[in-house]
């Protein structure tokens, strides 16, 4: 799903994206000429690997997602949650891919390893 930056005016535009088990629901609101703010919720179940034991498991991801989306380069240095798009439109497939990848690359522990206190020995 793609939405043109030109279609987003001062009034918020509702967003309801759902694909491959990922849901992004919320609104887009114009900040300035090149930027819009995404106020939404992110919901998905992501297949991750436990960083301690290596077991694969499904992690329920359900959290608020607030991003600044820029049409081209974004110049403000104080913002960290910015995604730049080039080509005049917001690509929600890319946003979903980016969030899922961030979850997979995070430090994840399965339910068995979360409460484990014993030292894990690994031979190299």
Distance CA 50, CA 59 (A): 10
In this prediction the pTM is 0.78
Q: Convert the pLDDT of each residue in 69-112 to its tens digit.
A: 888 776 766 666 888 888 888 889 999 999 999 999 999 998 88
In terms of Cβ atoms closer than 10 Å to its own Cβ (0-12, 13-18, 19+), residue 23 is: middle
- Does position 64 have pLDDT exceeding 90, yes or no? yes
Distance CA 28, CA 22 (A): 18
Asked if residue 71 lies in contact with residue 35, where contact means CB atoms within 8 angstroms, the answer is: yes
């Amino acid at each position: 799903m793609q939405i043109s930056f030109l279609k987003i005016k001062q009034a918020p535009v509702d967003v309801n994206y759902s694909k491959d088990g990922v849901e992004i629901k919320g609104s887009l609101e114009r900040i300035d000429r090149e930027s819009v703010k995404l106020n939404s919720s992110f919901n998905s179940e992501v297949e991750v690997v436990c960083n301690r034991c290596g077991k694969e498991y499904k992690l329920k991801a359900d959290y608020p997602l607030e991003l600044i989306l820029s049409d081209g380069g974004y110049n403000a240095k104080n913002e960290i949650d910015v995604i730049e798009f080039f080509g005049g439109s917001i690509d929600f497939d890319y946003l979903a891919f980016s969030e899922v990848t961030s979850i997979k690359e995070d430090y994840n522990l399965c339910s068995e390893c979360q409460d484990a206190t014993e030292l894990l020995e690994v031979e190299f």
